[in-house]
Amino acid sequence: MKKKILEIFSNIKKFYNNVNNKFFFGRYKSTYDYINKKSSMKEYIIKFIFIFLIITSFLFLLFNNFYYALGISFVLTIFFLNEVILNNKKIGYESYILSQLTIYTSQISLLVGYNNIYASLKEVIKFLDYPVKKDLEDVIKKIDSGISITDSFRDFNEKYNNRTITLYNQTLDLFNEHGDSDAGTVLEIISEEMNMLKIKKDKFFKYKKEWRLNFYVVVILCLIMPLILRSMILEIYTDFMASFGSLIMVGVLVMNLLVIKKVEAIYRDQSIGEGGYK
């Protein structure tokens, strides 16, 4: 009997963990791990409550039904946290990483004019921040253990998946093995590609940000339209919602969620062809 009870509790715990990882804090935490930020349940709960109260207030005015508002707000809050808010953090992090990689290439290009490749790698670390700094320190440790520069950079290149960075690091190995008085010039040309990539991505992001903002302005205007009608023709609005209006509004909300999910997926994809580690 005891074994059966423990098995039931184990299954309940497993079910809870699966649901949590798919919809709640587990998913939020995994997204934060992607951007190298520590997340806490307290932070999640505070954001959840704040957003939940705002959405519940809006939906209560919309449906005039407290239970409708609670149930739908719960779903919308989870969606908003895991899709919209974290998208901004992801994109900000990716922009930060590109800035760090640009600093890395430009500084190495300058340093090789006065040092060898290995000394330049050790020197450039002080200009960088986490996580690029830590990853480069790992590369140097591998070089110290006798591994070639190309092999030492393999994990680094794979992680950042940028063909310009891969080419740059492979060129470092070439100059380290054979030497070349034009190393600084060649590396500077490749470094300039990184600078141009950052400029293009910044412009691309600015365009997408404006496009996304315009989209949400339209969504908000559409959603507050029923509230305007309610304030103007309360009796007709009440009768409409009491019949089949609530179902129509739920359908409208679901349709908006699907469209928002698609828009956020497009917004999240900031690639302009810079990938290509392999």
> What pLDDT digit, counting tens, does each position of 85-127 carry?
877 778 878 888 888 888 888 888 888 777 788 888 888 888 8
Specify whether the backbone of 132 is left (phi greater than 0), alpha (psi in -120 to 50) or beta: alpha
Percent of the chain residues past pLDDT 70, beyond the cut: 80
* Sequence-separated (6 or more) residues with CB below 8 Å from residue 155: 135, 138
Q: What is the pLDDT of residues 13-23, one digit of tens each?
A: 676 566 666 66
Rounded mean pLDDT of the chain?
A: 80
* Sequence-separated (6 or more) residues with CB below 8 Å from residue 255: none
**Interatomic CA distance for residues 158 and 65, integer angstroms:** 52
* Mean pLDDT, residues 11-34: 64
**Interatomic CA distance for residues 96 and 104, integer angstroms:** 12
* Per-residue pLDDT at 53 exceeds 90: yes
Q: What is the pLDDT of residues 179-229, one digit of tens each?
A: 655 666 777 788 888 888 888 888 888 888 888 889 999 988 888 888 888
* Per-residue pLDDT at 30 exceeds 60: yes
- The number of angstroms, rounded, from the C-alpha of 153 to the middle of its chain's C-alpha atoms is 24
**Interatomic CA distance for residues 11 and 187, integer angstroms:** 57
The residue that leads in pLDDT, 31 or 251, is 251
* Sequence-separated (6 or more) residues with CB below 8 Å from residue 207: none
pLDDT classification of 75: cutoffs 50, 70, 90: confident
Please give the span between the terminal C-alpha atoms of the chain, in angstroms, as a whole number: 56
Domain definitions of the chain by residue range: 89-278
The predicted pLDDT at position 278 comes to 42
Q: What is the pLDDT of residues 227-258, one digit of tens each?
A: 888 888 888 888 877 787 778 888 888 888 88
The residue that leads in pLDDT, 129 or 28, is 129
Peptide bond into 131 cis (omega under 30): yes
* Per-residue pLDDT at 9 exceeds 70: no
Helices (H), the chain: 2-23, 25-34, 41-63, 66-79, 86-111, 117-124, 132-144, 149-152, 154-160, 163-178, 183-232, 234-240, 246-268
* Mean pLDDT, residues 1-11: 66
